[in-house]
Amino acid sequence: MVNYDHMIVRYGEITLKGKNRGQFVKQLQKNVKHAIKAFPAVKIDARYERMVLTLNGEDYHAVLEVVRKIFGVLSLTPALRTAPDLDSIKATALAYAVELGDQVKTFKVETKRADKNFPLDSMACSREVGAHLLINRQPLSVDVHNPDLRLLVEIKDDAAYISGKTEKAVGGLPIGSGGRAMLMLSGGIDSPVAGYMIMKRGVEIECVHFESPPYTSSRARQKVVDLAEILSHQNGKMVLHIVPFTEIQKQIHDCIPDRYSITVMRRIMIRIVEALRKRREAMAIVTGENLGQVASQTLESMYTINEVTNTPILRPLISMDKNDIIAIARELDTFDISIRPYEDCCTIFKPSSPKTKPRREKVHQFEDAFDFEPMIEKAVQETEKLIFSNRGKKEDALDSLF
Ligand code: ATP
Ligand code: MG
């Protein structure tokens, strides 16, 4: 097996953002650094156009599997580095082809030349390297259409890189480049997927979960903790806010007509998340809502619930099919956690026939009968904060914000 000593990391979408690019590269470099902490020998050289990781003996397969999942990384090319002169390039390309062994019978050489002072043009360089392989590494023949090995020679002014194939990575934008949002995390299938999709757009996420003990069990909480932990792998850290919701749910049950209880409950949830969002200086709320059959997810419901906030509510799953959502959940490894049986705070007081078209005027009328504000404030005050971090240092900035 070729013992790659370098890895070229390409940025993809960052290319589109001309002005902010420097900042994005910096953020990505930071995120990569955190993600590969388990491989301390790796050196990162972040350039404007791409990043080069020097492996220094770390296992390239293991590093590859970590780096390809980092948002903002479009593709990865394991490479051998050599001096940018023709003899070194030829020798390294040959060593590379020899090491690949019998699996390679046909090949093609492509050259990309960033250093225009290199004495040969790209075509000539490819020809020279190709001829060198044909003579010294037999049996081997050229196939320009469907080669076993597409050998890439990249010539920069300070080094040349020989590589075989480019591996696709996750894409998206580096987390931390797009502000912060509060994810309403339920323990179901949808909300972790929604969080993942928004994180992929560069947004840092904090989770908010409503629980109603003793009606909801510690197993239900554990589910949410496990989901938040999985999401923390992308962030490098994660804050999970757990809101005590029992009192409010009981009060809703007592004073709001059944058909409107879900609508009122959702409005109060949003008001609480809104209060937490302000404290955490976040700029949006994320939910796993999906336009469809569920009573609280009709347009009429959203219109009535959304009335309580001006903050953008991001609903990345809004028009997706369930099967596609499940496919992402499986890939994320959240699916098996999400389907563990548990009681959700939304279902324990669930009315038999919730209103599918709740009206704002009606809700106002019902809500006027009881002042929920003190209960809301109390719930916010008593919200528990759990912090997950693989960054090793204490999250000191957090408490100062409260
Ligand atoms: P999910 O699969 O995410 O649970 P769902 O299809 O079950 O979604 P609902 O139960 O109507 O739909 O919830 C819609 C959204 O409201 C969820 O995706 C989540 O963002 C939020 N939500 C629901 N219950 C809770 C909860 N207990 N804590 C925090 N957020 C919640
Ligand atoms: Mg649910």
Per DSSP, the three-state class of 39 is coil
Q: Rounded distance, CA 204 to CA 283, Å?
A: 10
If residue 330 lies in a helix (H) or strand (E), which one and from where to where?
Answer: helix 322-332
Q: Rounded distance, CA 399 to CA 128, Å?
A: 62
Q: How far is CA 227 from the centre of its chain?
A: 13
The string of DSSP letters for 290-308 reads -SSSSGGGSHHHHHHHGGG
Name beta bridge partners: 182.
206, 285
Q: Would the CB of 177 count as within 6 Å of ligand 1?
A: no
List the pLDDT tens digit at each of the 402 positions of the chain.
567 889 999 987 655 556 678 888 999 999 999 889 999 999 999 988 889 999 999 998 899 999 999 999 999 988 999 999 999 999 999 988 887 778 889 999 999 998 788 888 999 999 999 999 999 988 899 999 999 999 999 999 889 999 987 889 999 999 988 899 999 999 999 999 999 999 999 999 999 999 999 999 999 999 999 999 999 988 778 999 999 999 999 999 999 999 999 999 999 999 999 999 999 999 999 999 999 867 778 999 999 999 999 999 999 999 999 999 999 999 999 999 999 987 777 676 778 788 889 999 999 999 999 999 999 999 999 999 999 886 654 444 444 444
Ligand lying nearest the CA atom of residue 325: 1
The two beta strands, 50-54 and 43-46, are: antiparallel
Per DSSP, the three-state class of 73 is strand
Cα angle for residues 388, 187, 379 (degrees, 5° grid): 75
Q: Rounded distance, CA 391 to CA 31, Å?
A: 10
Name beta bridge partners: 79.
6, 163
Tell me how far the alpha carbon of residue 259 lies from the centroid of ligand 2, in angstroms: 18
For residue 190, the tally of other CB atoms under 10 A from its CB is 24
Per DSSP, the three-state class of 312 is coil
Minimal CA–CA distance to 191: which of 230, 148, 136, 139? 230
Contact indicator for 271, 308 with CB cutoff of 8 Å? yes
Q: Would the CB of 92 count as within 6 Å of ligand 1?
A: no
Tell me how far the alpha carbon of residue 349 lies from the centroid of ligand 2, in angstroms: 14
Ligand lying nearest the CA atom of residue 209: 1
Q: Would the CB of 186 count as within 6 Å of ligand 1?
A: yes
Tell me how far the alpha carbon of residue 33 lies from the centroid of ligand 2, in angstroms: 35
Residue 318: partners with Cβ closer than 8 Å, 6 or more residues away: 289, 290, 291
Tell me how far the alpha carbon of residue 374 lies from the centroid of ligand 2, in angstroms: 27
